[in-house]
Structure 1
Amino acid sequence: MNLTLSTLEYSERSCIILLTIVLLGKTGVGKSSLANSILGTNVFSFSDFEKSICQAKSGSVNGRHVTLVDTPGLISRDRSGEELKSEILGCISECAPGPHAFLIVLKVEKMTEQEKAVITQICQYFSEDILKYATVVFTHGDQLTEGMKIEEFVDQSDDLRELIKKCSGRCCVVDNKYWKNRQQDEYRTNQYQVAKLLDAIDEMIVKNKGGCYTTKMLTEWQAQQDERIKPSSASVFSIFKHLMNSLKRKPWAFVGAALGVLIAILGKTGAGKSSLVNTICGEEVFKVYHNVNSGTKDCQSATRSVHNRRITLIDTPGLFDTDRAEEELKAEILRCITECAPGPHAFLILLKVEKFTVHENAVVEKLLEYFSEEAFKYAAVVFTHGDQLSEGETIKDFVQKNEKLKEIVGKCGHRCHVIDNKYWKNNNPQDYRSNQFQVQQLLQTIDDIFLANRGTCYTNEMLQEPRRIVILGKTGAGKSSLANTIFGDEVFDISHAADSGTTNCQSETRSVYNRRITLVDTPGFFDTDRAEEELKAEILRCITECAPGPHAFLILLKVEKFTVHENAVVEKILEYFSEEAFKYAAVVFTHGDQLLQGETIQDFVQKNEKLNEVVGKCGHRCHVIDNKYWKNDSQEEYRSNKFQVQQLLQTINDIFLANGGTCYTNEMLQAVYKKVVEEETHELLLCLRMGILFKVNYLYCQ
């Protein structure tokens, strides 16, 4: 293919835009499953409610950042045609400027009148112009005859052949059930087909000169339709009412993805945040105040196209605003995350070109407190008042002068830029000391942040308090290995010695399936190498290790015969933490490969009355993993750690909700020991009383 310079430029830029793809098809054809196959993970829900509305999810696929929009099934018996139409058209108008591609989903089966009706309905909704942006994807690929390609299947039907021709020959095939794992025939793998599909979309985008199916095109087509058929006022009201309702419940991830790159600007009052937004946008977007208190009282956002990039800038109130309470200010600044849900792709930390004092350092400390270290992966430092630089000095030269400042910029991946909102407005655009030059460099840095983080953003989950989980079990049960399996990384050291490899409580925090998790690994019960009281004190320290307390306990047992030794572990937990702990507990079995073929962990538990009783105390919550043999996805989904970890995290979330978001606290622990002390005191008094009576009787007898 001969590409012009403009299309080559588009191809190079395409990796940094958000590629929006809408899936269309009748109910039950496999749209949600196809979306999951493309993203390589189960992110789309199959609940009746979720299938009735448009839902969008984003992910990185083969080096591209992709947003997939799953739509309700066409030709639905459960809702009126107008209601369905307004839901689907509403999703298109929400992902402005519009989707880059549509996937028309059909099954590998005979093309009936119903399939033809689906295509007709799509063209009625969007006009035949949609086919310029469409690819046909067939599901249930395993129905193809051995060795048959999808193109050969298409050739068997005049109607299919005509449809694919209108889509410029673009078609692919997947099988969401049988083609998940690699097979001898590469053609019959979803990985191969997804790569082929994305290549076809790339070529289509180049052919369409980087354009998308815009809301303007949709509006013009609808206007033509309205001219042909004037609906009644009642019908118009019905459509409008449903559209408004659907917008209320639409996932904000959808809107975030559609806005392009999202940038939050942070800094103390007077640093020049609002002015920076105006400088980047090249126009007066936000009003600039020059008083002592922060001019920006609430988070405010603006979306503009700057240097061929669609960006949304979020301006935040100044840190250390003397005019409002700390908690009120914190709540408003954190709202910037929800303002641009699912989250910003970049943070710009604003500092002035001036002496770096404790006040500037306090800004960085405050950001660390609000957003955690994770935020620095998405951050760049922007200095204002650039005219304060010495003649010929760059911002990097300035940073090198101060060790603390150098350390902060280092945390942000050494990303820093400088502008001057007052004096550098009209300088030569090629000069270092011009805002135009610096803004171009800054946007390139934001692109780099976007790519380095694979198109992900700083999410609400990262902001949320992590779920704190304590792992308990006897020596050798596999506690450290379980923690590593949950994290998907070798975080905790593993010892295969007879004594406990974990001698002290240790904790680590990671993001797992978009949840922040803190795991506390504890020494093994019945460690032969230390005194009982010493061991008890160390295990109880886990409560302070994850203050104010754990949201869940994981009690580890092996898939093996439940003996008095295993029961002693449960008794020990009861002694240390009381019955209350079981409200927060789940049992996790290791060595899952010891299960019989086809046996579930629930089946195993049912075999032993005592074990069944223990799991019952924990709300019948139990899971199984195998740290050695279930690492890689097996043909049987149940026997994979990935599946079991996802199920376990869901259980932990259920525990969290069942307990009203509370955790097992020091107060609960203290109540246990108060009771123990009372019982011991009672026993001591009883012994003393018995001793006194014995002595009185002895004297009386004398």
Structure 2
Amino acid sequence: MSQAEYHKPHALVSKKTFDHVKRSGQVRDKRLTVVDTPGWWKGYPLIDTAERIKQKLVLSVQHCPPGPHAFILTVETGTFTETNRRSIEEHLGLFGENIWGHTIVVFTKGDSLKDKSIEQHIESQGEALKWVTEKCGNRYCVYDKQTKDQNQVIQLLDQIESVVVNNSGRHFELDETTLKEVEEKRKVAKVRANARREKKEKRREEEKRKRLKGQIQPLSEVRIVMLGWVTCGKSYAKNVILDKKDVRPSRTHQCKKHEGSVGDRHVTVVDTPGWWKYFPAHYTPEWVKTELERSVTFGSKAPHAFLLVVPADVSFLEEQRKGIQENMKMFGEMVWRNTIVLFTWGDTLGNTSIEEHIEGEGEPLRWLVEKCGNRYHVFDNVNGGDGSQVHQLLEKIEEMDASVSSCDGTPKTPETEVTESHRREKEVRKEMVEFLDKEWTRRDNELEEKVRAMWRETRRGDRSMDHIPDFSVQENEVYLDTRGLPIKFPLLSGAPQSEES
């Protein structure tokens, strides 16, 4: 038996895998079972992978009892960096150190090698890729889906049999404690998710009765402000709401009003610049703060709703919760009464409900949803369907507007005492903010092209790149780790060695 593990959502099949897919067949007079598992995004560290994905990876060993004989780790035959290596090491670490003795590397897109051998490719990529292949006992082969050469299948089967022989026929066994911990977490999350879902459905039934009694009147005009961190998918969500296409996805640099008709409603959506995902609010550039303040006074009337966009395909940590809370302070505490959490990339949930995702991610995401009065909605980025997801969202906005008064739209900035040390800290922050903006602008065209390439490759639209870019660095420049967090600032005298919110 073998089990498939993927370090990005491109595997030996074209369809994306968000849940386990099990297939069995007869090969070489042996019964072969293959379990296809959800993948993680290439280059993303383990901490960025959603909790449900990590749990599904660990529990995947239960789908071929008593356990898999081999794991297949697919790696594209493109550029392979140290960031990619660390991502693989961290994710396979979920299974424990013993997994490496059961793992085979399968290089996909073999046609891109052209006249180069796979050994030459491994050598050309340096120590990072050599580390992975050596960690797997130099077990590797190439897969090219453009050809129908059965030899590549035979080579893979030979590798699987060699793994079985090397392990004396023993299957991989996951630590029982690890397995029980994951199962218990899932069990608790399901119970809490059911309670949250029942609470939401009960409120929805009450809202329906109010509609029938005429207590909730449909709005002829709906005014929306989009909020969230950089590249969380605000612009994409705006396009879904207004049924528009954006062929050049890029960072939003200023507030922009977009209008359209959805059924009998005139809908106005104000798209806004985002704040940095991994940096606290004091790193948010002043021009972003100015544009955010301007978003609520962009028209003659206050918005009916703030849509706080949160991607559902990655983790949500305490630093994201704090960043959102701090950046939202400028609107005043009353803003939460008019805010709905809008989860994008709902298609990646697979058979996991949004409530299970909320509960599985833990207290930070639960806090955010509760802060918004348990108001949340999900957009499927692939299957837009008949527009019902947009109509349901607008109904939720109408219900929210009927139950609370609109925000007065007057931004309020918390007062702080400026001391000498505080002033020096602000100077250092200013340099860092300017650096981030400068580097983002410098590489904006390159980042846009990466987004477009990802869109073409995955057919998933305006993909959210949910981390600060890993900027190219030269000597005496700022260094960022794999999550985009500054490690050291040689240009900033007196700056800390690490900076986390």
TM-score clears 0.5: no
Which TM-score band (shorter chain)? 0.3 to 0.5
* TM-score relative to the length of structure 1: 0.28
**Larger CA Rg, structure 1 vs 2:** 1
* TM-score relative to the length of structure 2: 0.38
Which structure is richer in relative contact order (CA contacts within 8 A, separation 6 or more)? 2
